[in-house]
Homo-oligomer: A and B are copies of this chain.
């Protein structure tokens, strides 16, 4: 559990994003957070990947069965996503094509999500650390079957060297600064998907300035 060497914060140019098993059926099993927040957090990750040209790889577990289809927003908001099918493997890291897709990005920092957290996120996250990657597990963009299972999974992956993180922190760490041409896109990302109160602040702020100007 030693601190990673070199720069301790993410370098957007070294990041690959793995969005695993975000399927409509599996989302119906989620009990540790609201499905609405989960879905929005995944959308926000897809959007920021598109904004920063971060490679995105998805996969799904038996999408034609009860697990259901991948939610369409990933393709919609990150059209550059690469989909890797599986032949039944539960751990995406057991799929050679999946690991190969990661390797081909030449990136060594993995931002990973997976529904359900205990399995679809935890298994490949632990394996990716073992394979030498710096791995961030975005637990609140994953979704799990019980709160107790999530608490156990956080403890397990931290013990294994995975870095636990939330959606807002991932995007803030990738954004780095508000002093950039697309800053408003980030503000909208936070306001529309992650922190609805932020949108309220933006609306109130704009109105206050308008009201001030009218005086």
Residues of A within 8 A of B (CB): 1, 3, 8-9, 24-25, 27-29, 32-37, 39-40, 61-69, 71-72, 87-91, 94, 116, 118-119, 122-123, 126-127, 129-130, 139-140, 145-146, 148-156, 158-161, 163-166, 168-169, 172-173, 175-180, 183, 187, 194-214
- Please give 19 more A-B residue pairs, beta carbons under 8 A apart, in addition to A119-B168, A123-B173: A8-B160, A27-B200, A64-B208, A65-B211, A68-B204, A69-B203, A90-B173, A94-B177, A118-B172, A140-B152, A149-B168, A152-B154, A153-B169, A155-B155, A156-B164, A159-B164, A201-B204, A208-B209, A209-B209
Q: Which of B33, B155, B169, B212 contacts A158 (CB 8 A)?
A: B155
Asked whether B148 lies within 8 Å of A166 as measured between CB atoms, the reply is: yes
Majority SS of interface residues in chain A? Answer: helix
Q: Which of B36, B63, B153, B210 contacts A207 (CB 8 A)?
A: B63
Asked whether A204 lies within 8 Å of B24 as measured between CB atoms, the reply is: yes
23 A/B residue pairs, CB under 8 Å, sorted by A: A1-B159, A8-B126, A9-B123, A24-B201, A25-B201, A27-B197, A28-B197, A33-B148, A34-B34, A34-B37, A36-B36, A65-B211, A68-B200, A71-B203, A87-B177, A88-B178, A90-B173, A122-B169, A140-B148, A145-B194, A148-B166, A152-B165, A209-B212
Copies of this chain per assembly: 8
Q: How far is the CA of A149 from the CA of B206 in the complex (A)?
A: 28
Q: How far is the CA of A201 from the CA of B203 in the complex (A)?
A: 12
